[in-house]
Amino acid sequence: MTCSQSSYNDIFASGLMPYDEALSRVLSGLPGVDGCERLLIEKARGRTLHKSVTSTLNVPSFTNSAVDGYALHSRDIPEQGFKKLAVKNVAFAGQPFDGVVEAGECLRIMTGAPIPEQLDTVIMQEHVEPENGYINIDNRCRAGKNVRKAGEDIRIGDTVLAAGRLLVPPDIGLLAALGISEVEVNRKLTIAVASTGNEVYVPGQSLGAGGLYDSNRYSLMAALARPDVEVVDLGILPDDVDVLLKSFNDAGCHADVIISSGGVSVGEADYTKMALQNSGKVDFWRVAIKPGRPFAFGRIGNAAFFGLPGNPVAVLVTFYFFVLPALEKMLQVTDKPIMPTFKACATEDLRKLPGRTEVQRAIISRNEKGEWQVKTTGKQGSGILSSMSRANAFIILDHDSGSVSTGEQVTVMPFSAIF
Ligand code: AMP
Ligand code: MG
Q: How far is CA 99 from CA 88, 96, 144, 170, in A?
A: 9, 9, 21, 37
Instruction: Report d(CA 104, CA 106) in Å as an integer.
Output: 7
The phi-psi region of residue 301 (left if phi > 0; otherwise alpha if psi is between -120 and 50; otherwise beta) is left
For residue 407, pLDDT over 70 is answered with: yes
Q: Could you say which of 3.40.50.720, 1.20.1730.10, 3.40.640.10, 3.90.105.10 is the CATH number of the domain covering 36-59+152-186?
A: 3.90.105.10
Residues whose beta carbon lies within 6 Å of some atom of ligand 1: 195, 197, 199-200, 212, 214-217, 261-263, 265, 309-312
End-to-end distance of the chain based on CA atoms, in angstroms? 21
Q: Could you say which of 2.40.50.140, 3.30.413.10, 3.40.980.10, 1.10.1530.10 is the CATH number of the domain covering 5-34+187-330?
A: 3.40.980.10
For residue 9, pLDDT over 60 is answered with: no
Q: What is the mean pLDDT of residues 102-121?
A: 96
Which atom of ligand 1 has the smallest separation from the CA of 311? 8
Domains 5-34+187-330 and 36-59+152-186 share a fold: no
Predicted confidence at residue 140, as pLDDT, reads: 85
Q: What is the mean pLDDT of residues 106-125?
A: 96
pTM here is 0.90
Please report, for the chain, the start and end positions of each structural domain, with discontinuous segments joined by +: 5-34+187-330, 36-59+152-186, 64-148, 342-417
The phi-psi region of residue 365 (left if phi > 0; otherwise alpha if psi is between -120 and 50; otherwise beta) is beta
Q: Which has the closest alpha carbon to 259: 242, 282, 277, 278?
A: 282
Task: Residue 278: count other Cβ atoms within 10 Å of its Cβ.
Answer: 8
Predicted confidence at residue 419, as pLDDT, reads: 57
For residue 21, pLDDT over 80 is answered with: yes
Q: Report whether 151 contacts 59 (CB < 8 A).
A: yes
Question: Is 62 strand, coil or helix?
Answer: coil
User: Domain 64-148 belongs to what architecture?
Assistant: Beta Complex (2.170)
User: Domain 342-417 belongs to what architecture?
Assistant: Beta Barrel (2.40)
For residue 327, pLDDT over 50 is answered with: yes
**Residues flanking ion ligand 2, Cβ below 5 Å:** 197, 262-263
For residue 5, pLDDT over 60 is answered with: no
Q: What is the mean pLDDT of residues 330-352?
A: 96
The sign of the dihedral angle between the CA atoms of 102, 104, 109, 112 is positive
